[in-house]
Amino acid sequence: MNTHGTPHEPPAVAPAVLWPTRPLHWSVRRELWENRSLYIAPLVVAAVILFGFLISTIGLPHRRRATLLLDAAQQRAAIEKPYDMAAVMIMATIFIVGVFYCLDALHGERRDRSILFWKSLPVSDFTTVLSKALIPLAALPLIAFAIIVATQADMLLLSNAVLAANDVPATTRDQLPFFRHSLILAYGLATLALWHAPIYGWLLLVSGWARRATFLWAVLPFVLISMLERMALGTSYFGKMVTYRLMGHMHRAFALPPKGHQINSLTQLTPAKFLSTPGLWVGLLLAAGLIVAASRLRRGRGPI
């Protein structure tokens, strides 16, 4: 009973603490939820690879008997080739998915007018753009790693089952140590994502700027500059620079073996050389600038 004649006041409730990374965390989860092709496309490719490998097991015992007549290095190369091809195909799919995701990341929300809703939420433009950049830089490499390891494990089980049924020595388990190959794969995916960071930053910037034909606007400037340089100066330095950014990380991140051999040893990883490459840090600085520019561009953009 209140003897002083004043109503009871409700107990004070402390305001919820919002961690600075929480909006970013939920923004990344939203991107993964809304863009299911990020993992459906590589899963479809993995299913096609497994189907093709299943068909190829028809002649596997005969091929394995012929392989066992080779020396140890040639045996390893022949046995590991299908697994390496599967990894390369899934990684190529992941790269293509990342390119088209970035091209639609900011353009799509302006096209379907959902940008009006997302801007009404207490999430900054920089957090939104950064969450979209983290998809190709962090989420897709993790997705690729999980799918590649699962695919190669299924291929190994199929291979061993077929060989055992035909009384052929199943040496695949010894020739393909999964722990070592998983470390090499994780390292390769991480270095590739860092090397391609400015590409994804550029695509996000184009996605936030172009009103239509984002792919054309992303590619056309590089084609025109290369053509003009070739016609005016007779050189191709710009084209070589673009090629360097697309495929130049292999010679910095790995000590490549002779042609026809696979990367199968941890001693072939060269992280010190990769991290000391000026092109890596120039690319990361450029990527950071492009992401900041894309976030500032989004601030003043509305529906198309």
Q: Which of 196-200, 259-263, 295-299 is predicted with the least confidence, judged by mean pLDDT?
A: 259-263
Residue 10 binned pLDDT confidence (cut-offs 50, 70, 90): low
Per-residue pLDDT tens over the stretch 23-63: 888 888 999 999 999 999 999 999 999 999 999 888 887 88
- pLDDT value of position 95: 95
% of the chain exceeding 90 in pLDDT: 46
- pLDDT value of position 27: 87
Which of 222, 254, 220, 250 has the alpha carbon at shortest distance from 238?
222
- pLDDT value of position 259: 66
Domain locations in the chain as residue ranges:
35-299
- pLDDT value of position 217: 94
pTM of structure: 0.86
- pLDDT value of position 66: 81
For residue 218, is pLDDT > 80? yes
State the average pLDDT over residues 246-252.
87
- pLDDT value of position 18: 47
State the average pLDDT over residues 294-302.
86
Collect all residues with Cβ–Cβ distance below 8 Å to 95 and sequence separation of at least 6. 196
Per-residue pLDDT tens over the stretch 256-289: 776 655 676 777 888 999 999 999 999 999 999 9
Average pLDDT, the chain: 85
Residue 301 binned pLDDT confidence (cut-offs 50, 70, 90): confident
- pLDDT value of position 8: 54
For residue 193, is pLDDT > 70? yes
Residue type, 231: M
For residue 91, is pLDDT > 90? yes
For residue 209, is pLDDT > 80? yes
Q: Which of 56-60, 178-182, 294-298 is predicted with the least confidence, judged by mean pLDDT?
A: 178-182
For residue 64, is pLDDT > 70? yes
Residue 15 binned pLDDT confidence (cut-offs 50, 70, 90): very low
% of the chain exceeding 70 in pLDDT: 88
- pLDDT value of position 14: 46
- pLDDT value of position 1: 46
Contact yes or no for 253/187 (Cβ under 8 A) = yes
- Structure-model confidence comparison of residues 296 and 75, the more confident one: 296
